[in-house]
Every structure is written in C-alpha cells, then in structure tokens.
Chain A
Amino acid sequence: MKKQIPVNERIKMVLEPKRSSIKARLFVTREDGITIYDSIQDNTTTSVAALVSGLWQASEALMGLVHEGREVMEFRLGFDTSSQGIYLFPFSLTNKRYYLGAIYHDCVNPGQLKRQIAMIKEEMDRLFLSEPAPAPLPPVRGRDGFLFQDISDAEIDRLFSLGGI
C-alpha cells in the first residue's frame, strides 16, 4: 500500500524551495488556527496561526453582513501600506480550508510579492484542488476508534510537569 504523505509535509514540499526567493515570512495555517508551515520558527509561530484564523473568520463574518452567499474561496485578505503588510489567500486541500499568507516589511515592490504569493496559491490549487479526500482509514488503536484507551491522572501530572508547570 502506498504510504500517504502527511498534509504538512506536502505543503512544505511546495513552499520550501520558494523560501529564498520570497522576502517575507511565508506561512500556511489551518482554518482553526493550527500552524501547518511557517518559514520562521519561533515563539510567535502558533500565535500567527491563531491570529490569522481569527482575522479571516472575522472578515468573513463582516462580509456576510452585507452579502450573503458569497464564494469565500475567491477572496483574499490584505492589510498593508506601500511597503509592509499582510496578505492572505484561502485554498482547499482534501476538503479542508487552509490559508496561505505572507507578512512582509521594507518591501520595495509589494505588488510583485503579492503576485508571487498568488502564483503559489495557484500552484497549490493545481496540485491539491482536484484531489479527493482520502478514504477514512481504520483506527490505529482500540476503544472504538479513539487514540487513547485510557489516560491516568499520573500521566497527566507528568505531562504538565514536563511542560514546566
């Protein structure tokens, strides 16, 4: 059976080769605020994803106030000046929505950068849009398909103590 490549690995395979040619922080987040890819890995990585998710959802809700039934996947979202800003595109992969985005500053030609991001989005669409959602696979563990059959209080205490709490 062919081994399935995880979503984030596939997205990384598209974005990594482009890192050097794009002068911006490049990222992909899932609709619910989970980081899938970020060209900068630091303690702001998860925050970027949460904020992007909130930003998009709030914008979508605002748009819904004046125009019901719009096709949200056609939208893009920008927050910018002539040299710095944020630019977001939605795309679909296996029936789930993701956001491709860039945060840039000191940019001489933002229009060109946005075009580059748009082209990456088009590449993502070509690669992933027609791809059907994978068939559900059998659960890997027992208890009617749940990942963990049981977790003791001691394990939770240990988990938090490892987290420095």
Chain B
Amino acid sequence: MSFVNYHTKEINCKIVYYGPGLGGKTTNIQFIYQKTSSQNKGQMITLNTENERTLFFDFLPLDLGEIRGFKTRFHLYTVPGQVFYEASRKLILRGVDGLVFVADSQVERMESNLESFRGLEKNLVDQGYDLAKVPMVMQWNKRDLPNIVPVEDLQFQLNKRKLPAFEAVATSGQGVFETLKMISKSVLLNIKGGLE
C-alpha cells in the first residue's frame, strides 16, 4: 500500500516489474538506474545468482520531484522470473501499488508469458487484491528481435483488460521510461486521500 505522509508531504509507492524469466525486468530497472541523476536515486540492490539471474529481487528507490506539493518516491522492484521462485514472487507482491508486466515478444516465449501472467493473477487474488483495481501496464519487450509475436496477438492473448501497453527494447531504453511514466501516473491517481 502506498504511504502518504501528510506531515512531511511525501508519497511512497511500490511498483513491481513482473514477467517470465529472461524477459527484461532487470534490464528495465538497470536502464532507469543508469539514466537517473545520482542525487535522485538510492543504491540499487540486486540479489542475483552466480549467473546474474535474479534470485530474490532487484530494488531501486527513485526520488522524483514534487507533484501538487507532494514529494514522490517510487520503490521499483523486480521479481525473479524463473518458475521455481514462486514463493519469492508472492512475497515481493505484498503491498504493491502498481505492476508492470514485462512480456517477452519472442514466439517461443509466448507460453512462458501466459504462464507468468496467470501466476500473477493468481498471486494477486490469493493476497486479496481486486485485479480490476490494481494499476497495471503491459510492456511488449524485445521488439528488436526476429521471430516476434505481432502486437495484436500479444494484446489478444495477454491484455484482455485493454491495459495501457508499450512496445519496448529495454536493452536500448526504448519504451522503458514511457512504461514507467504510465504506471507512475496510474499509481498516483489510485492513491486514496485521507490521513495516515
């Protein structure tokens, strides 16, 4: 749940990048980290295996400017994508304010995308979230590779709710900030008023 401190006029929000293994979740966060000025970002935490696959989570705190007088801070997390880290994914989803689903556009990864998306929906429901109320943005990553699924097919199979969606090449940064800005806006618009 987002944390709004009316006393200091601060907003803290948790955004989780979710998706199948090797889909580009960590690459998204790394690009954001590289392009953010040093005074606006905290230390990036990466809990990896020896071969640089995410083991538990990546974490990047982003201190942005003010919006309507509220200082905003986004906590960006990725989940480990590999199938057997389901328990870790459940933990990281706790208290989530917004989700980016990073799908791998390659034809051979479509089944993994679907499996991951079904897992996400199940994990959210298990934790008591109303799927319709959790801000979410879809990202069709790896659009630069050959043998990719047409966007229309990705939309049809993964985006029944017609959520905002962006084509991306996370390695070059294409679509990365567009995705982040959209989920940030959705999350901010979803914050409830009232005092903490």
A contacts, CB < 8 Å to B: 4, 6-9, 30-34, 43-47, 50-51, 54, 57-58, 61, 134, 136-141, 145-148, 150-151, 153, 155-165
Contact = CB atoms under 8 A, between A and B. Distances in A.
Contact of A159 (B45, B72, B88): B72
A146 B191 contact: yes
Most chain B beta carbons < 10 A, residue from A8, A138, A161, A163? A163
B195 A140 contact: yes
Contact of B195 (A31, A137, A159): A137
A151 B185 contact: yes
For the complex of A and B, the 7 pairs showing the least CB-CB separation, nearest first, are A162-B65, A164-B37, A32-B95, A163-B64, A139-B193, A46-B61, A6-B7
A46 B73 contact: yes
B176 to A, nearest CB: 10
B189 A163 contact: no
7 contacts: A6-B8, A44-B43, A47-B59, A50-B57, A50-B59, A158-B65, A160-B177
Nearest to B192: A145
Contacts of A157: 181
A60 to B, nearest CB: 9
Contacts of B64: 159-160, 162-163, 165
Contacts, number: 142
Interface string B44-71: 0101000000001101011111111010
A43 B42 CA distance: 5
B181 A32 contact: no
A90 B194 CA distance: 26
Contact of B91 (A34, A44, A58, A155): A58
Given A6-B196, A9-B7, A32 B91 contact: no
Contact of A146 (B14, B65, B190): B190
Contacts of B68: 148
B35 interface: yes
Contact of B191 (A50, A58, A147): A147
Given A4-B195, A51-B45, A164-B37, A148 B188 contact: yes
Interface string B104-138: 00000000000000000000000000000000000
B83 interface: no
Contacts of B61: 46-47, 50
Contacts of A6: 5-8, 196
A6 B194 CA distance: 12
Contacts of A61: 87, 91
A47 B43 contact: yes
Contact of A163 (B36, B45, B56, B196): B36
A151 B190 CA distance: 11
B75 interface: yes
